[in-house]
Amino acid sequence: MGRILNLLGSQVSVYIVLAFELTRSIKKDMLMSAVKKEFGFTEKHFNHIRDIATRHSGIVLSDAKKDMIYSRLVRRLRKTGINNFDDYCTLLDNEDHDEFTHFINAITTNLTSFFRENHHFEMLAETILPELIKRNKATKKIRVWSAGCSTGMETYSIAMVLKEVIPQNQGWDVKILATDLDTAVLETAANGIYPIDGVTGVNDKRMARWFMQGSGINADKLKVSKELRELIYFKALNLLQDFPFKGPIDIIFCRNVVIYFDKDTQRVLFDKFANIHADNSYLFIGHSETLYNVTERYKLIRNTVYKKIM
């Protein structure tokens, strides 16, 4: 009898826990629902917004992104003083309006870090740059494009490797073009100033050589050296629009960007890349991306590293 009571007691405890969790979940859903009702964010609003996003930037927003988009755009409604999504959607129909830039900035995801996917930078230093130094010996020019540069951490990582590998004082003309759709992150990138605790993945030797620590109220910040910043030209660019340059580009980094595009958009983009990419030069993409069934103008030579073949 005592054993049965113990078992019943255990079951009751489980039910109490489950009931508590269910109640908490329901309260959370009710709270979210109440917030959404305040701004009247409907399926019609979400579909309108994601159609604009896809048409303008190629970004494909799945149904699972609805809550994320709501939470990000609510801040824009509060900032502009607009109190409903009907009026906000109407405003977005005018792509020349100043708010459209803020809208694109709000829906863009900008996760980045120094030397992210470090095997790319190791290959750049050990294999690709030595090859390019030999190949481009006559022109002494190397051009690199960081497409979707976000806050600049990828771009400055590239710049460090270029400075460390390419012979100095031998007349080499080296430039990095860094572009992004989000103008807010581009401003951060161009300034090259980061909180100390945000600079991870950089070894002590590089930290000492390429960063300067602030003083006083800026003691918790690091600034990228002028020597690196002078290699880079930052520019706002929508990858779906015509490129304002002809190339040839020796190396393209386009990592964790096309994951947000559908296959048709990816095909168009990589074809545009290939048109300005020097033959037998290199393309880096993100760890969750692939060119399989997207283009035949590049061949895979290592994990997420491709070479242009035609």
For residues 69 and 185, membership in a common domain is answered with no
Q: Are 117 and 254 in contact (CB under 8 A)?
A: no
Q: What is the mean pLDDT of residues 282-296?
A: 93
Whole-number pLDDT of residue 109: 66
For residues 163 and 85, membership in a common domain is answered with no
Enclosing domain of residue 281: 118-308
User: Average model confidence (pLDDT) for the chain?
Assistant: 86
Q: Is the pLDDT of residue 71 over 50?
A: yes
At residue 104 the predicted structure's pLDDT band, cuts being 50, 70 and 90, is confident
Last residue of a domain, one of 107, 137, 170: 107
Last residue of a domain, one of 43, 74, 107: 107
Q: Is the pLDDT of residue 2 over 50?
A: no
Task: For residue 86, give every residue at least 6 positions away whose Cβ sits within 8 Å of its Cβ, in sequence order, or none.
Answer: 40, 45
Q: 72, 206, 209, 267: which is the annotated catalytic residue?
A: 72
Predicted TM-score of the model (pTM): 0.76
Q: Residue 288's beta-bridge partner residues?
A: none
What backbone phi and psi angles, to 5 degrees, belong to 212? -120, 130
> What is the total count of domains within the chain?
2
Q: 50, 76, 143, 180: which is the annotated catalytic residue?
A: 180
Q: What is the mean pLDDT of residues 281-295?
A: 93
Q: Is the pLDDT of residue 12 over 70?
A: no
For residues 145 and 45, membership in a common domain is answered with no
For residues 145 and 252, membership in a common domain is answered with yes
Q: How far is 155 from 148, CA to CA, in rounded Å?
A: 10
Whole-number pLDDT of residue 281: 95
Residue 90: CATH number of its domain: 1.10.155.10
Q: What is the mean pLDDT of residues 134-138?
A: 96
What percent of the chain is modeled with pLDDT above 90? Answer: 62
Q: What is the mean pLDDT of residues 245-267?
A: 92
For residues 175 and 300, membership in a common domain is answered with yes
At residue 110 the predicted structure's pLDDT band, cuts being 50, 70 and 90, is low
Q: Are 250 and 142 in contact (CB under 8 A)?
A: yes
Whole-number pLDDT of residue 14: 35
Whole-number pLDDT of residue 288: 84
Half-sphere exposure of 207 (CA within 13 A, CB side): 13
Q: Is 180 an active-site residue?
A: yes
Q: Is 76 an active-site residue?
A: no
For residues 127 and 237, membership in a common domain is answered with yes
Q: Is the pLDDT of residue 35 over 80?
A: no
Whole-number pLDDT of residue 5: 36
